Each structure stands twice: as C-alpha cells, then as structure tokens.
Structure 1
Amino acid sequence: MNEKIKNAVDHIQKKTTIKPKVAIILGSGLGGLADEMDAQATIPYKDIKDFPTSTVAGHAGEFVIGHLQGVPVIAMKGRFHYYEGYPMWKVVLPVRVMCAMGIETLIVSNAAGGIHKDFSPGDLMLIRDHLNQMGDHPLIGPNDEEVGPRFPDMSTAYDEKLASIAHEEAEAMGFELQHGVYAATTGPTYETPAEVRMFRTLGADAVGMSTVPEVLAARHAGARVLGISCISNAAAGILDQPLSHEEVIETTEKVKVRFLELVKRTIERIGKGDHQ
C-alpha cells in the first residue's frame, strides 16, 4: 500500500472502531447529510498527514464516521478539486484511503449546471455516465496492481442496481429523478455558452468541476458507484443571466431535504443487501 494512503488509514482507524462499508462524498451545500449520522468520529482533513485542505465555500473539510440507517458509513464533508491547484493524486487521495479501509460502495454527489433543456434548478439527476473533459486522469503513472488493473473497464462506471434503487426510492417519495451524462471540466470558471453547446452536442446533460476523478479511482479499486447531481443552475447560455457560486449554494439549500431523504433511503436498501 502507498505510504501516504497507509498513514491516512492508520490515523483514521485510531479514531474509530467502525469499519465503513459505504462512503459518501458530499458536494457543495450538501454536507448536511453528515449531521444525520450517528457519528463516532469527526476528523478534519488538516489533521491527516499529506492531506490537502478544502478551500471552497460550502465544503467543511472533514471526515465523519458513524452509522446512517444502521449502516457503517464514512462521509466526506467537502472534497478537493483540481482547480484548487492540487495534483490529481491528491484530489483522489481520500477515495484511495476509503477504499483501502474496505468500503464497497461510493455515493458521490455534486452541484452541477443543467445542460439538458428539460432540467430545472433544484432537480436531482442520477449520473448514468460521464465525459472526462479535465485533460488529466488520476490513474496516470505507475499502477498499483494490489489496488486494481492497469486498464480498468469503465463500461459500467455507475452501478445499475444502485441506480435502480435510487429511482425506486425517488418514485416512492413522489418526485421524478432525472438521469443523464455528467461532463467534468477543470474550472474554476463557469463554462462559456459555446462550451455548453459543445457539451450538449457531445451528449452531456449536466456539467461540473468534480466527481469524475473520484469515480475513476473508486472503480479502479473495485468499489461500486452511485452518482447524484443537484442541478443548481442552468448552464451558461440557456438563461440570460450570470452564474454565481451563491446561486449554487442557495439552490442546494432548497433541495437538500429531498436529497438527504433519497440518500438515506438508498443506504437503508444497501444495508438490506438489495443492491446485490
């Protein structure tokens, strides 16, 4: 095991007796799910050797470990982004650490701009597939065969059984869960209208600045992935108005109750083994 990963795992395991089976990455404005957990330990990223710190508003920058719906869970309140100046290996370091701890499932969330013209701010979109438009890849460099293969298969990057559970639970809650393709860019600028038209032509339904590197690292290590985007705004050129991070946080605040309930219901189903 990579020494940086081992050091982080050792640090976390000294703080908790829980062996998490599900990991959750909470995107901008969605960290409230961690407050729903029966938490045993809260570990700031800054206390872990070799970990960067989260610098973005809406990202608390800490692990929370405990139980949610009776399932042992580790949650990331905030993530690291490529645009913050971190190399890809640091962006995905938390995912590497959580996989080394034995997680089997990763639920990853984000706030994203809606490209599909039928999407509205506040919609939740199940990620069915993605486009890596970041110009970099977290698996570039020497491969650790103990973690995963040199050439991982990405034909099912997002798990179909987990997606079906999420759809069923959204229907039971009485709302339509959108689904589509997520395009990842480096940021930190929002996309231009021309770029949004290009992404739509390429088949993207939403666009954001995260998630894909984490999914690639998780799938490399054999974890199953469920991805959910909160459509926080219409992407550039769709509406005649500027984009802002304040709008992103405002929208996620409005939708977080629905998001939290959907994830809790999905995790409860995972705990029952319905995803097997």
Structure 2
Amino acid sequence: MGETISNSEYLNLLDRANFTISTFLSHHSQLSKPRVLIICGSGLGGIANILNNQAEISYEKIPGFKLSTVPGHAGKLIFGHIGTNQVPVMCMVGRLHFYEGYSFQETTFPIRLAKKLNVSTVIVTNAAGGIDPTFKPGDLMLISDHINFPGLAGYHPLRGPNLEEFGPRFQPLSDAYDFELRKLFLTTARNKLGITRNIHEGTYFFAAGPTFESRAEVRMIRNLGGDAVGMSTVPEVIVARHSGLKVLAISLITNAGVGDKPPSAFAENPKPLDEGMASHDEVLQAADEASKDVQKIIQATVNEL
C-alpha cells in the first residue's frame, strides 16, 4: 500500500504541483482557468479528443502525481476547451487506483490539485460491471448514490487528520451526486442529441479490486443494493465533495456480473465454468464501442456549464 504522508508534507506537495501546473499554463494563457475536471475511466481516454486548443503534461512531471500502470490509462493531464462556449477544462487521461498499490491520499491527489486551480465541477467516468440483471454491456448508468465497501471497513480517503483547508471533519454524502448535473446529462442525451443508448440511474458499489467479483460477491452486492460495481470513482467523489466541488459520475457497463451459483460437481450436464466470465479486454472493447456516444454527451453537457 502506498505511503501516507503528514498533512504539512501533503500540502507542500500540493503547492509544488499547483506551481508546476500554473507555470505550465502560463504559456497557454487561454487555458489558465479550468472550470471542469474530467476523469477518464478504462478505455474512455478518447474523451480527450473532444478538447480543442490542447496542451498536455505527463503525470511524471507533476510533483505528487503517481504513474498510471493500467492498460487504457495513458497517464497525462490535458488542458483544452470544450464546445462552442469554449469551456476551459482539465482532463485526466488515466486515473490512479488503490489496487495499484497507491494510498487513497495518492489516488485522490489530482482532485485537490483541481480545487487549487479553482475547478468547480468534476465529471468522473468509469467502466463498471452490471449487477442489476437488466443492465447490458454498452449501457450507461448515471451514478446517483454509492456504497463505499472499503470505507465501511476503515479504508477511507478522509481517514486521518482532517484537511481543514478543504472541508469539514464529518463530510455529508447524501448529496454527493449533483441532481441538476444528472438531469442535464440525461436531457442533453435524450432531447438534444437523440442518443438511443440505454441510460440507467443507480448505485455504484466500490470494491477495491483488482480481481473481478466472484459469483457469491455479485449476489451479495445485489442484495446490498448495488446496481453496478467497479474499482474506482468513490474515493475521488468523496474528496471532491470534501473540497466543495460538484460531481457528475457516469458508469459505462462493460460486462454483466455473473451471479448464479457455479455448476455443481454432481450435475450431469453443467454449464462451462467460464461462461460470462469478465476480462479487462472485454472492458476495453465495450468502452471503445460506446465511447463515441459518451464523448458526444459529455461535450454537449460541459458546453452548458
């Protein structure tokens, strides 16, 4: 697990990162005041293609940033404009995960940097497994609530001395996923763009990963109220809300969770054990097929912010 540092060291790193980005953006003055942070999930790095007037910097050049080690996560910040209204944004092409060995302090560092840069809205995307049996690969789910399973067990991104500079000791999360942003995304997709892809709304279950869920775990998550499951997003959302940022979060359903019991050794004609089994290649393929619709909706949504 990644090392946790003191608040004073952490704030110093933030100041250094802020200085680095501010210096970088001083050469791109039209991009110097991003209003929106977009976090690209697995296979969704193509979202960065909707940015105009791009300027990019790799994570390794930013103090406090760790390197992304997962296929489909490039590991760079891209600044640019979106839409006819030229909304200035910063885009994380590649996020950091707890399962990579990083601490939550490290994986959520970019969120607080965005706050220092005066970003006001965070759009989080992810690839997720469908737990609701009506969800199909390629569907989208607007996240309206979450279950922070590691957090309930003590692995929480706000654990430790509170950073009073950003938010309160006891952060409420009943309003974590902004209603107006969810409504804007949905009406933009349906009424403005005429997107016919299935869009659901539901609860995201955060599991630490990196293994995909067992059959019994899928049944448990369903019983606990999860509609989709993934290995990211919730720590970032919690820190964003602690920092006073509005949040819109979208899951791309890339595989259906296998929740029926495994074939019995007593059965004469059992189903193959690997039937419906998830893989990261499947995640990337489904993301690639749906990414154009996701890009269109995010572009039109951000244009209204």
* TM-score band, normalised by shorter chain: over 0.9
Count of residues in correspondence between the two structures:
270
Matched, 1:89 2:102: no
Candidates 166, 169, 175, aligned match of 1:156: 175
Q: Which runs of 5+ in 2 are unaligned?
A: 1-7, 261-273
For 2:177 and 2:78, locate their aligned partners in 1 and report how far apart those are by CA, in whole Å: 24
TM-align CA RMSD: 1.3
Matched, 1:42 2:56: yes
Matched, 1:9 2:18: yes
- The 8 Å contact of residues 120 and 234 in structure 1, kept in 2 or not, is answered as yes
Partner of 2:195: 174
Deviation track 1:123-178 (CA, whole Å, cap 9, x = no partner) reads: 01100000001241111111121211111111110000000001101212232421
For 1:151 and 1:86, locate their aligned partners in 2 and report how far apart those are by CA, in whole Å: 24
1:228 deviates by: 0.2
For 1:36 and 1:15, locate their aligned partners in 2 and report how far apart those are by CA, in whole Å: 21
Q: Percent identity?
A: 45
Partner of 1:64: 78
Structure 1 pair 46–233 and aligned structure 2 pair: CA distance change class (3 A): same
Partner of 2:133: 117
1:55 deviates by: 0.2
1:50 deviates by: 2.5
Deviation track 1:64-102 (CA, whole Å, cap 9, x = no partner) reads: 011111101000001000000001100100111111111
Q: Which amino acid aligns with 1:3?
A: N
Structure 1 pair 124–10 and aligned structure 2 pair: CA distance change class (3 A): same
1:242 deviates by: 1.6
- The 8 Å contact of residues 15 and 41 in structure 1, kept in 2 or not, is answered as no
Question: In structure 2, the residue corresponding to 1:74 is in which secondary structure?
Answer: strand
Partner of 1:273: none
Partner of 1:274: none
Q: TM-score, normalised by structure 1?
A: 0.95
Question: In structure 1, the residue corresponding to 2:211 is in which secondary structure?
Answer: coil
Candidates 34, 41, 44, aligned match of 1:27: 41
Candidates 257, 281, 287, aligned match of 1:235: 257
For 2:146 and 2:116, locate their aligned partners in 1 and report how far apart those are by CA, in whole Å: 24
Q: TM-score, normalised by structure 2?
A: 0.86
Q: Which runs of 5+ in 1 are unaligned?
A: 271-276
